[in-house]
Chain A
């Protein structure tokens, strides 16, 4: 067995030090060598017929066979291209559907919060007006010490409920 010598290390590599690490994936700048090898069966049949035009029995048979395989290879190529295009469209539609679903979920959540806010707002307006009505009774009975805080509380509740209430434009 041939002995493989150790690899020497050059003292000065001459490298300029500007290189960066490439991706661990297959580098995108390396193009796939697929153009001629796409239909190896067709290439083989065409090659055989070109080398010997009677290789498949007779000249006519060879030509027919080459023409048939080339025709079906072309059909297959077009079908593959169509499939690729359809897959791309499916991907686009799937992305759009995902966007619409997430928007729908956000809007549903907003509708739910709108309903609970509306109940809270109605209760606040009711409680605020009740407290303001009560404070008037306190003032009429010379009970201002109770009337003022009740009036302040009722007013705050009324204003808060009024402004918290969601309007149609928010949705």
Chain B
């Protein structure tokens, strides 16, 4: 999986958990919470959906790695690759 594909995985999850949001212009280097209406429960949703859909665990200590699309890609891509995806 490439980093761009990883970003798309995260965007697909956000599309489901924040269905009122326009995701067409999400800036990858800006914190997601600074550009979308996302609260702490929504971030728990992202963690849950990564677990359910992709078998990826994000420990609480690493939640900050999900701050932006870029940081998501940096953090998650190796996890996907490690799973052979």
Q: Do A and B bind?
A: no
* Chain A residues in the interface with B (C-beta under 8 A): none
